[in-house]
Amino acid sequence: MSELVTGHPVPNFSAPATNETTFTLNEFKGRNIVIYFYPKDSTPGCTTEGQNFRDLYEQFQALNTEIFGVSRDGLKSHENFRAKQAFPFQLISDKDETVCKLFDVIKLKKLYGKEHLGIERSTFLIDKAGVLRQAWRKVKVPGHAEEVLESVKAL
């Protein structure tokens, strides 16, 4: 799998999403896309991150920008998480890690002294032409959604 490079087009991909939809990147040409990867539904950091994007959603929309969250959780878990947090954007289920691998977000992590493979919190900004404009890796949640919004404004 070729690595995604800032300034180059992101290959088209499709994946199941909430609201009985299928996300297909090419269907969003003409709009900016923010795709954020998070480890697990309904955990504290992931909830806060989603809430931050939710709270800025109208500002992203005003800038012709759609937001999508991605984790390895199933659609049922995503639907519950989305409803409970009133997320206005869709969540993409990536149980087989196809999208995670495309964006290279599966990393070796340590939890309580044990190593496991998991999603490294990451966000990607794709412009209206489908070109990767910015990548944030090892994201810290506080202030992140605001930083992404500022990058969208700068496009």
- CA–CA separation, 105 and 58 (whole Å): 27
Task: Measure Cα distances from 80 to 23, 31, 42, 45 in Å.
Answer: 18, 27, 9, 17
Is 46 one of the annotated active-site residues of the chain?
yes
Cβ(149)–Cβ(143) below 8 Å? no
Residue in 10, 15, 46, 149 annotated catalytic: 46
Nearest CA to 55 among 149, 155, 151, 125? Answer: 149
- CA–CA separation, 54 and 57 (whole Å): 5
- CA–CA separation, 58 and 60 (whole Å): 5
Listed in sequence order, the residues at least 6 apart from 108 whose beta carbon sits closer than 8 Å to its beta carbon are 115, 116, 117
Question: What amino acid positions are annotated as catalytic residues?
Answer: 46
